[in-house]
């Protein structure tokens, strides 16, 4: 063993600045940041895995960006020093204007004045949104709980620029999360710059094969092991007799991601006057950090006349369904009962009782404890 220890010591001295060499017993366990969307947290096995790559993919209008924005808000509220989900309640910011020099333009920054948190020494990290689709709305983001002052919003002008910027932020320990929206919107360099007559078949896959190798290397270089990448992708059907559902990004994306969520918008729920919302089906197609192939559905409200406000999901209904599965709620036919208290006929009446009686917070804690998720 002395020879082996000496060999490991030499390797650590030679590569220790960027390469991790340690006994497997010292490898930290995978941590998760809950999304606070119960069904999603159950499907993911605890939430979004820190320092891993997660893909959200599906057809248009399937809730991918909506879920991403909810994840951003939870990463902003995570206390990184004490590892407390939702540990930061509020941040006070001070707006400043930095004068540009040379080719640099003037820019606005928001410095942190005070963090209101569970404990005094809480630490926050910034979130970066690489918005190649140029689709982010600060009003919609704020509705999902995002602190826009604590979000760096970048609209790249080229595919190479988008990848280089993403790589740079992934290697920074000051960044908690990088979101890329979306892979499908980014073609190869020649695909963007050349004439439509030029054949660029396969160029996008080559671009992303190289890009994801760079992303993974950047995460490996990150000394804090805290930065996470989420990328949005689209599903399409390949032509031909043996064609099936495919996603962009080539094999590079397929191998790099630790988690892959397939999202699908289902038929809308309507009243006589309007669309109230729709069910979104979520299927965990790949998971290298928890149990794969879990699935579920959530209701996303598209009207203030639905049971929950516009732009939100019905978390109470999700809690009831999981609580019944875990035996926390007693269900007999159409009747529901929690903790030996009032019996309610019908899920809707039971949800209303939980919200009005003050028992919702308690049952949420019970459900997350049963799932092994720390809040």
Buried b (16+ CB within 10 A) or exposed e, 330-365: ebeeeebebeeeeebeebeebbebbeeeebbeebbe
Look up the pTM and report it. 0.92
- DSSP for 344-359, please give it: EESHHHHHHHHHHHT-
Mean pLDDT of 280-284: 98
pLDDT, tens digit (0-9, with 9 covering 90-100), for 327-365: 999 999 999 999 999 899 999 999 999 999 999 999 999
- When pLDDT is cut at 50, 70 and 90, the band that residue 287 belongs to is very high
pLDDT at 14: 82
What does the DSSP 8-state code read for residue 3? H
pLDDT at 8: 81
Topology, domain 31-85+125-312? Rossmann fold (3.40.50)
From-to residues of CATH 3.30.250.10 in the chain: 314-375
To 10 degrees, the CA torsion angle through 242, 246, 250, 255? Answer: -100
Among the four given CATH numbers 3.40.50.2300, 3.30.250.10, 3.40.50.300, 2.70.240.10, the one describing domain 314-375: 3.30.250.10
From-to residues of CATH 3.40.50.300 in the chain: 31-85+125-312
- When pLDDT is cut at 50, 70 and 90, the band that residue 19 belongs to is confident
């Amino acid at each position: 063993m002395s020879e082996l220890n000496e060999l490991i010591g030499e390797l650590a001295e030679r590569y220790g600045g960027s390469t991790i060499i340690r006994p497997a017993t010292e490898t930290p366990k995978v941590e998760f940041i809950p999304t606070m969307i119960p069904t999603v947290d159950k499907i993911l096995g605890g939430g979004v895995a820190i320092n891993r790559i997660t893909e959200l993919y599906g057809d248009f209008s399937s809730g991918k960006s909506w879920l991403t924005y909810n994840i951003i808000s939870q990463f902003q509220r995570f206390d990184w020093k004490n590892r407390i989900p939702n540990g930061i309640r509020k941040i006070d910011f001070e707006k400043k204007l930095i004068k540009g020099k040379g080719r640099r333009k003037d820019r606005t920054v928001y410095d942190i004045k005070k963090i209101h948190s569970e404990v005094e020494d809480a630490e926050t990290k910034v979130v970066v949104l690489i918005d190649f689709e140029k689709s982010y709305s600060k009003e919609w983001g704020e509705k999902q709980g995002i602190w826009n002052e604590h979000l760096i919003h970048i609209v790249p002008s080229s595919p190479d620029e988008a990848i280089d910027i993403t790589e740079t932020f992934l290697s920074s320990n000051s960044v908690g999360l990088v979101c890329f929206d979306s892979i499908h919107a980014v073609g190869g360099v020649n695909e963007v710059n050349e004439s439509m007559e030029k054949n660029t078949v396969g160029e996008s896959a080559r671009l992303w094969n190289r890009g994801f190798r760079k992303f993974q290397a950047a995460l490996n270089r990150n000394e804090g092991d805290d930065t996470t990448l989420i990328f949005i992708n689209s599903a399409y059907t390949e032509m031909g007799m043996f064609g099936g559902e495919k996603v962009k990004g080539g094999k590079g994306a397929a191998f790099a991601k630790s988690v892959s969520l397939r999202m699908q918008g289902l038929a809308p729920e309507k009243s006589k006057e309007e669309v109230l919302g729709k069910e979104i089906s979520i299927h965990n197609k790949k998971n290298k950090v928890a149990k794969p192939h879990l699935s579920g559905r959530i209701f996303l409200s598209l009207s203030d006349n639905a049971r929950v406000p516009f732009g939100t999901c019905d978390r109470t209904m999700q809690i009831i369904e999981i609580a019944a599965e875990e035996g926390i709620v007693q269900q007999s036919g159409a009747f529901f009962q929690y903790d030996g208290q009032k019996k309610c006929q019908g899920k809707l009446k039971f949800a209303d009782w939980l919200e009005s009686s003050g028992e919702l917070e308690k049952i949420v804690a019970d459900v997350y404890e049963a799932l092994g998720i720390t809040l």
